[in-house]
Amino acid sequence: MGPEGKTLLNIIILGFGFMFMFTAFQTCGNIEQTVIKSFNSTEFHGSGYTSMAIIYGVFSASNLIAPSVVAVIGPQLSMFLSGLVYSGYIAMFIHPFTWSFYTASVVVGIAAAILWTAQGNLLTINSTDATIGRNSGIFWALLQFSLFFGNMYIYFAWHGHVHILDKDRQTVFISLTVISLVGSVLFFLIRKLEPEATPCEASESLLQTESTESASIVVATPGLGSQALDAFSESEFIGSMCVTLAPSPPSGLELTFYSGVYGTCIGAMTQFGDDAKSLIGLSGIFIGLGEILGGGVFGMLNKGNRFGRNPVVLLGLITHFVAFYLIFLNIASDAPIAPEEGTHLQAYITPRYTAGLTQLAHKTMTIDYYSIYFA
C-alpha cells in the first residue's frame, strides 16, 4: 500500500474510532438527565445539566494545556487515554455516586480537550493541501453517524417503558461502555507514517554526514519540555484570537440544547404517551440525519454558490427559526425541569399520539450552520 493509501486508511480508522466513541458518549448525554430522574437512590443527588456544564467549562479551559500534552505523549496515545476516560464516565452510570459523577465530569472535560487536539494533529499529519478537504469530509461524515446508531438502540430498548428501571439503565450503559472501548482500541490500528526524504533533504543529509566526519559538531534537538512549552505558547495565542473572533456562544448554546436538554424535554412529555422515553432516541436519530443532510446540502450550496456564503448562512438561520419555533409550540414550559413522572401541562399544540412521529420528525431537523460556515 502506497503512502496515500495509508493516510486514507488512517483517516477512515480515525473516523470509525470517533464514531464508536461518540455513539456511546452522545447517547449518554442525550439520556442522562432522564436516567438520573429515574434513579431510585437517596444517596445520589446529581444533575445531568450540572454535569454537562462542568464538562464543557473544563473542556474550554483545558484547551490551553492540551497541545502540550499531545506534544509530549503523541496524538495516538493521547486519543487512547482520553477514550478510556470517556468510557469511565459512561460506566459510572452503571452504579452512580454523586462524588464519582462530578469527578468524572471534570476529568472527561480535560480528556475532551486532549482528544480533539490530538484528532486535529493526526488529521493534519495524514493530509496534504490537496486531500485535507476530502479527509475532513470523511471524518465528519463518520462522526455524525454516531447520533444515528446510538439513539436507534435507545429507541428500541426503551420502547413502551414509562419508567427506566435499574436493570434497563445498567443494560444500556454496559453496552455503551463496551462500544466506547471499541472506539478507543481502534486508535491503535492507525499506522505511523514514515517521512519520505526529498532530493533536497537527501543532499542536506549527505552534506551533514560529510561535515561531521571532519568536525565534531553536536546539534541539540528540542526536548519534550521545550516542545510542550512551545505548544502551550501557541495555544495561548490561538485561544486569545478565538475568544475575539469565534461565534462560540450561539453554537455552544445550541449544542447544549440538542445534546442534553431537548431529549429530556421529550421524555418528560406525558402527552406523547407511553413511548415518550423511547422518543428520546428517535429525536437523536433525526438530529443525526439532519446533521448529515444539512452538512451535505450546505456543502454543495457553498461550493456551487456564486453569491458567497451569506445565502448559506441565511438559509441556516431560517431553518433554526422554524425548528425552534416548532419546539416552542410542542414542548411544555416546565418540561426541562419536570420530575420523573413527567409533566401534564399542555403546550400550544396538543400532540396526538398517532401523529407523534410526524411532529417529532419536523421539529428535530436542527442543523448547526455555525459549524458549517466556519468549517
Domain of residue 296 covers 249-374
- Over residues 146-184, the pLDDT tens digits come to 888 878 888 887 776 667 778 888 888 999 999 999 999
Same structural domain, 7 and 128 = yes
Do 180 and 36 share a structural domain?
yes
Residue 202 belongs to some domain of the structure: no
The pLDDT confidence band at residue 304, using thresholds 50, 70 and 90, is: low
Residues 154 and 27 in one domain: yes
pLDDT for the residue 29: 86
User: Does 285 lie in the same domain as 165?
Assistant: no
Provide mean pLDDT across the span 183-212.
61
Domain boundary (144, 169, 192) is at: 192
Q: Is residue 244 part of a domain?
A: no
Are residues 267 and 183 part of one domain? no
Is residue 197 in a domain?
no
For residues 32 and 174, membership in a common domain is answered with: yes
Q: Compute the mean pLDDT over every residue in the chain, rounded to the nearest whole number.
A: 75
CATH code (residue 127): 1.20.1250.20
Residues 15 and 115 in one domain: yes
* 224 or 373, higher pLDDT: 224
Same domain, yes or no: 166 and 277: no
Let me know how long the chain is. 375
Residue 210's φ and ψ, nearest 5 degrees, are: -65, -35
Mean pLDDT of 289-316: 68
CA-to-CA separations, 336 to 219, 315, 353, in angstroms, rounded: 62, 28, 20
Using an 8 Å Cβ cutoff, are 373 and 294 in contact? Answer: no
pLDDT at 136 over 80: yes
Q: Is 350 left (phi over 0), alpha (psi -120 to 50) or beta?
A: beta
Same domain (yes/no): 37, 133:
yes
Q: What is the mean pLDDT of residues 84-102?
A: 92
Cα 307 to its chain centre, rounded Å, is: 31
pLDDT score at 356? 43
Identify whether 225 is part of a domain.
no
Cβ–Cβ contacts within 10 Å for residue 319, how many? 17
On whether residue 210 sits in a domain, the answer given is no
- Residue 270 and residue 188 share a domain: no
Out of 127, 161, 192, a domain closes at 192
Q: 177 with 304, same domain?
A: no
Q: How many domains is the chain partitioned into structurally?
A: 2
64 occurs within a structural domain: yes
Is 240 domain-assigned?
no
Q: What is the pLDDT of residues 41-65, one digit of tens each?
A: 557 788 888 888 899 889 989 988 9
226 within domain boundaries: no
Nearest to residue 317, comparing CAs of 341, 298, 296, 337? 298
Of 192, 211, 240, which residue constitutes the final position of a domain?
192
Residue range 293-304: mean pLDDT, rounded: 63
- On whether both 50 and 132 belong to a single domain, the answer is yes
